[in-house]
Structure 1
């Protein structure tokens, strides 16, 4: 009877967290923190369902955010960021693989952590993992490393940006280049301002498109017959921006959809937080985490210095 009461209480707490995140009471960083506290203190009553829902909700929220973007801004951000995106991804990949070899991180885990850092965190790992035939532990190690650093970035980046008096354009670009996952980029950028959110989202999604060529290159190099996953939600984001730009009479609907996208991101981060179990942190271990942290610091500091020096800009 006591165990049933405890289970019901845990479910109520979980649903309360979802409601608070959806209502905007919990900001994206707080939503992630609340989810993490939940995961580390009680047994998740809907672990599998939360994992599936967070994946779908992330993609749906990104598409909804597209209704708040102007197509011209999306094209400008993607075009102006193409060269340094290609260069930064290439450099991050080479450096990450080198660090993994030096630190003797298992090959597949090292490659997945590097892909996640170079492009777009969990989405890249989820796309590349099956192609490399990575097992559950290797996927868990890679995702655990990336999600842990996402948690840090959500709090650290807005603080650093404020202390350095970065403009919203500068911060949005920095977040897109140096924070792993789209959801965390949106969370950090939304906290910094509307302009930062627009630039951060568009640049990050343009960067995420590089999953496709990397997936094909990985499949070719490993002679894998695994199906390459195309991130269709990014293309739907662009469609939403097209609709918003060329059918401006429905502005009220677009505003509502964009608002739902922001609420969906907060809920997504709460769900992601609830999935960061003690077991996952134990699986991460020291070496993969050190590789991930070292690579992330280099990427974050190098991109910050380049933005501050005016070498890259939107």
Structure 2
């Protein structure tokens, strides 16, 4: 899933809750402002993507959002809507994609990717542990970067942090590091896929198993081709469900290591429930309950929501904060990510799937 944005939890004074606009009227933070900004920039990116298909709307959405955030700036009045757009709107867009995919396709693609996914997951944790010890980083930071690379970026980090009792500093470092390589992957993977001559299915499996956040998987997949985007999305959602067993294993390890009662894990909190609705939408399509006249509009709507959500993610990316994270966490994230990407390609080659 997409990275968690830092949204102020408490505002101590009226001066901080209201911003004086150009018209002299105060504005209180609300979702509407941030969603409107994300939608406007997303619409521009969507149209530019039609004219620049080799780059695509999803990538342009992230780039426009990042440029706006780091050049013009995003005031606190937009923060709630930007945060909502980068998470909930992305989930709606994925649910919308389900209306154009058959349930058989989802099950077949997800099942076929499971072996590659399990190898990349194991590789992520092993690489994070080895590199982390070599770089002299804390075990908690290594675990967070490992789980973020292995499963679903910021969402996996958020689910794991309370289990391992990570402090805010390590959590912020992990989220910033993972997000940086998400952006790099969106820009780099489609180019490498064409250089390697990967098929749509091969690239979709590679992106779905080797890129961290769902948003970046979707952006890279659909930048390559529609077919690659469909495969990448299904593979990524299959991978995201592994957050539950991974969190349970980490909780058990923490309990054994501390020689005390098992750490409390809320399955209801960590489970990515939007995947259930994605499967329900796919079932509706499979049963033929979606009228033919609505299928194309639904697909276009989901595509626009993807671009809008990715624009919101760009609007929440602070390049100065990433630069302040330091070199060693970046080296850990880079090494773990490269190991996962190579293991995915290696497994596909061994299984004759490229």
TM, length-normalised to structure 2: 0.80
1:36 aligns with 2:66: yes
Question: Of residues 125, 131, 153 in structure 1, which corresponds to 2:163?
Answer: 131
The structure-2 alpha-carbon separation of the partners of 1:40 and 1:141, relative to structure 1 and needing over 3 Å to count, comes to same
Give the alignment's Cα RMSD to 1 decimal.
2.5
Pair 1:224-2:263 in alignment: yes
Q: Which residue of 2 aligns with 1:176?
A: 208
How far does residue 224 in structure 1 lie from its aligned partner after superposition? 2.2
Gaps of 5+ in 2: 1-19, 26-31, 49-56, 255-261
Q: Take 1:312 and 1:7, find their aligned partners in 2: how far apart are those partners? A: 65
C-alpha spacing 1:14/1:44, structure 2 compared with 1 (3 Å): farther
- Aligned residue in 2 for 1:286: 327
Larger radius of gyration: 2
Listed as ranges, the matches of 1:79-94 within 5 Å are 79-94=111-126
Q: 2:181 aligns with which of 137, 141, 149?
A: 149
CA distance in structure 1 between the aligned counterparts of 2:347 and 2:198, rounded to whole angstroms: 13
The answer to whether the 8 A contact 2:94-2:278 is kept is yes
Shift of 1:277: 1.3
Q: Aligned runs of 1:1-314 on 2, under 5 Å?
A: 4-5=21-22, 15=36, 18-22=39-43, 24-26=46-48, 27-45=57-75, 46-222=78-254, 223-228=262-267, 229-248=270-289, 250-307=291-348, 309=349, 311=351, 313=353
Question: Quick one: distance in 2 between partners of 1:81 and 1:297?
Answer: 19
CA distance 1:126–1:68, change in 2 (3 Å): farther
CA offsets 1:173-203 (integer angstroms, 9 cap, x no match): 1111111111111111111112101111111
Describe the superposition over 1:156-188 as per-residue Cα deviations: whole angstroms up to 9, x where unpaired: 111111122221111111111111111111111
Task: Indicate how the Cα distance of structure 1 residues 130 and 60 shifts in structure 2: closer, same or farther if over 3 A, else same.
Answer: farther
The answer to whether the 8 A contact 2:116-2:209 is kept is no
Shift of 1:136: 2.6
Stretches of structure 1 that go unaligned for 5 or more consecutive residues are: none
Q: 1:122 to 1:255 in 2, by over 3 A?
A: farther
Judge conservation of contact 1:169–1:195 (CA < 8 Å) in 2: yes
What's the secondary structure of 1:166's corresponding residue? coil
In the comparison of the two structures, how many residue pairs are matched? 309
